[in-house]
């Protein structure tokens, strides 16, 4: 029987190397926005740099996407033929060229570091770059952050904070929504709490008088001296005994950093019930000696 001239082998051999090359071109790398690629810079010009990332065309990196750091010398930041990582910020145009960035990759890395710092409850130094009605904008390792007015120690004259460096801790770190919110007040409170302990004698100024007790400013953090902790004797009116701005010494009887609560007592300094109301100056003048005696009782 005569065999068919169009055998399977004949069909395969008709697919030439030229056909194979065309097929490859049709399935060139599908570069996508957000994809991290590795490449080598092979040319600098006044607008940026051209990078070989293995595509049909060279990738282009505009000057403003070179780095988070201020720069003037491309050769120093992007040496020719040195392999580096980049991120695609614009997909292929009609010529197959993608736009890439090293700056955006650095920003991603900063966000990753900040998220890790948040997990570890770390504080950091940030520089105030701008002021608005709601608070201040800050530079956080090259990323823009925001501290609400309610989370600033200085809440009245925000303009005075421009250019200043503040301690801050994290409230929200959200890279996907480009949202970085920090607190100056909580960072200061955390630092202050680390220096406090139960039984310690502290000195502060009365910052508020309420029917239930006194608020005492302890260098940036507030302690509460409850009316029942002022004296062993009943007190009818706090405003007749204390005034805002008055310096007072008291013993810490409870600390709760999570809630930002410091509970104080002068009652433990009394030698007899009512001494704080009758001889407050005397109690304050030798408060340290009285506090040492009280500390032993608090630790029992």
**What's the domain range around 43?**
36-101
Which CATH number do you get for residue 47?
2.40.50.140
CA-wise closest residue to 56 among 82, 21, 10 = 21
What is the rounded CA–CA span in Å between residue 117 and residue 125?
12
Tell the burial category of 86 from Cβ atoms under 10 Å away from its Cβ (0-12, 13-18, 19+). buried
Does this model's pTM top 0.85? My answer is no
For the chain, how are helix, strand and coil distributed in percent, rounded to 5? 30, 35, 35
When pLDDT is averaged across residues 7-12 and rounded to a whole number, the result is 45
Find out whether 277 and 236 touch, Cβ atoms under 8 Å.
no
Q: Is 10 inside any structural domain?
A: no
Q: Answer whether residue 5 shows pLDDT above 70.
A: no
When pLDDT is averaged across residues 123-135 and rounded to a whole number, the result is 93
Higher local confidence (pLDDT), 240 or 194: 240
DSSP for 72-87?
S-HHHHS-TT-EEEEE
Q: Answer whether residue 91 shows pLDDT above 50.
A: yes
169 shares its domain with 88:
no
- The reported pLDDT for the residue numbered 20 is 53
Cα 199–chain centre separation:
33
52 shares its domain with 138:
no
When pLDDT is averaged across residues 48-52 and rounded to a whole number, the result is 90
At residue 194 the predicted structure's pLDDT band, cuts being 50, 70 and 90, is confident
Q: How many domains does the chain have?
A: 3
Here the tokens at position 281 are 């100056």
Here the tokens at position 14 are 């008709």
201 shares its domain with 269:
yes
How confident is the prediction for the chain on average, in pLDDT?
85
When pLDDT is averaged across residues 141-151 and rounded to a whole number, the result is 94
At residue 249 the predicted structure's pLDDT band, cuts being 50, 70 and 90, is very high
When pLDDT is averaged across residues 89-109 and rounded to a whole number, the result is 87
- Where are the extended beta strands (E) located within 155-246? 165-174, 179-183, 201-210, 213-218, 221-226
């Amino acid at each position: 029987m005569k065999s068919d001239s169009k055998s399977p082998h004949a069909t395969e051999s008709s697919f030439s190397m030229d056909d194979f090359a065309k097929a490859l071109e049709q399935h060139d790398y599908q570069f996508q926005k957000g994809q991290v690629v590795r490449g080598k810079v092979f040319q600098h010009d006044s607008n940026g740099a051209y990078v070989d990332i293995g595509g049909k065309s060279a990738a282009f990196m505009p000057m403003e996407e070179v780095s988070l750091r201020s720069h003037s010398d491309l050769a120093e930041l992007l040496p020719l033929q040195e392999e580096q990582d980049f991120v695609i910020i614009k997909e292929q145009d009609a010529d197959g060229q993608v736009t890439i960035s090293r700056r955006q990759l650095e920003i991603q890395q900063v966000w990753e570091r900040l998220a890790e710092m948040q997990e570890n409850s770390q504080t950091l130094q940030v520089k105030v770059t701008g002021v608005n009605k709601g608070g201040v904008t800050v530079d956080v390792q090259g990323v823009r952050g925001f501290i609400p007015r309610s989370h600033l120690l200085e809440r009245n004259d925000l303009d005075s904070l421009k250019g200043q460096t503040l301690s801050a801790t994290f409230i929200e770190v959200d890279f996907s929504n480009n949202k970085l919110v920090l607190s100056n007040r909580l960072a200061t409170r955390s630092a202050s709490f680390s220096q406090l302990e139960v039984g310690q004698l502290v000195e502060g100024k009365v910052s508020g008088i309420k029917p239930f007790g006194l608020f005492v400013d302890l260098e940036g953090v507030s302690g509460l001296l409850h009316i029942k902790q002022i004296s062993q004797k009943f007190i009818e009116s706090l405003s007749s005994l204390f005034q805002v701005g008055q310096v007072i010494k008291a013993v810490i009887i409870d600390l709760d950093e999570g809630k930002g609560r410091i509970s104080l007592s002068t009652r433990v300094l009394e030698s007899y019930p009512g001494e704080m109301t009758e001889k407050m100056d005397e109690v304050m003048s030798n408060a340290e000696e009285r506090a040492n005696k009280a500390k032993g009782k608090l630790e029992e």
